[in-house]
Amino acid sequence: MTPSPQTSQTPSALLIAGLMVLLLSAGCGPGDGQGLDQDGNLPSSGGASTPPPAAPPLGAPSGNPDATLAWVQANVFGGVCSQCHTGASAPLGLDWSSQTHTCANVARQSQEIPAMKEIESGNPAASYVIWKVEGAGPGGELIVPARMPLNNAPLTAGTIQNMRDWIADGAPGC
């Protein structure tokens, strides 16, 4: 009786897979440190040891790809806030119509709560604009006179998180 082609291929396939695992793992393992300096780094060619080049930045500290001035401007300040807050006659002088105007509001004293900044770079909980879009301060502090955007649906939690991350990352772009 001759074995069927299917049964004769199964042991061969298992043997090949096993050999591949063995070959791939054979090169792995700890090195002996040979060729490295006292700190475990590759020695530099010439004189003093130079640090390796810095890795390119992988994004903002929050890691949120939407925590950018461009995103926040397009989706919040320019897309929503500037429906009312535009130009010299903007309520409370807050113009959100462009990136330049938005950046001018970073570290700008709030007219509604003068002890606060509109955007406190690095600190979303101390940024009045966050209080306004959330409807209250982090401890339930009241805002004056109402949640923003006024007479419109509140911003989504995801949109507010993008704003928070942008501010927490230091309001990059401003």
CA 126 to chain centre: 19
Q: What is the pLDDT of residue 39?
A: 55
In angstroms, rounded to a whole number, what is the distance separating the alpha carbons of residues 18 and 13?
A: 9
Tokens of 13: 């396939």
Residue 99 backbone phi and psi in degrees, to 5:
-60, -40
- For the chain, the domains span 69-168
- The 8-class DSSP code of residue 93 comes to G
What is the CA angle 116-133-88, rounded to 5?
70
Q: Give the global pTM.
A: 0.66
User: Which residue, among 107, 118, 123, 102, has the nearest Cα to 169 in the 3D structure?
Assistant: 123
Q: What is the pLDDT of residues 36-73, one digit of tens each?
A: 455 555 455 444 444 443 433 445 689 999 999 999 99
Identity at 173, one-letter amino acid code: G
pLDDT in tens, the chain (174 residues): 555 444 444 444 443 444 333 333 333 344 455 554 555 554 554 444 444 434 334 456 899 999 999 999 999 999 999 999 999 999 999 999 999 999 999 999 999 999 999 999 999 999 999 999 999 999 999 898 899 999 999 999 999 999 999 999 999 999
- The 8-class DSSP code of residue 58 comes to -
What is the CA angle 173-54-162, rounded to 5?
30
The distance between the two most distant Cα atoms of the chain, rounded to a whole number of Å, is: 96
- The 8-class DSSP code of residue 87 comes to S
Q: What is the pLDDT of residue 22?
A: 35
Q: What is the pLDDT of residue 61?
A: 87
Q: What is the pLDDT of residue 141?
A: 92
Number of H helices, E strands in the chain: 5, 0
**Tokens 């923003």 map to which residue?**
148
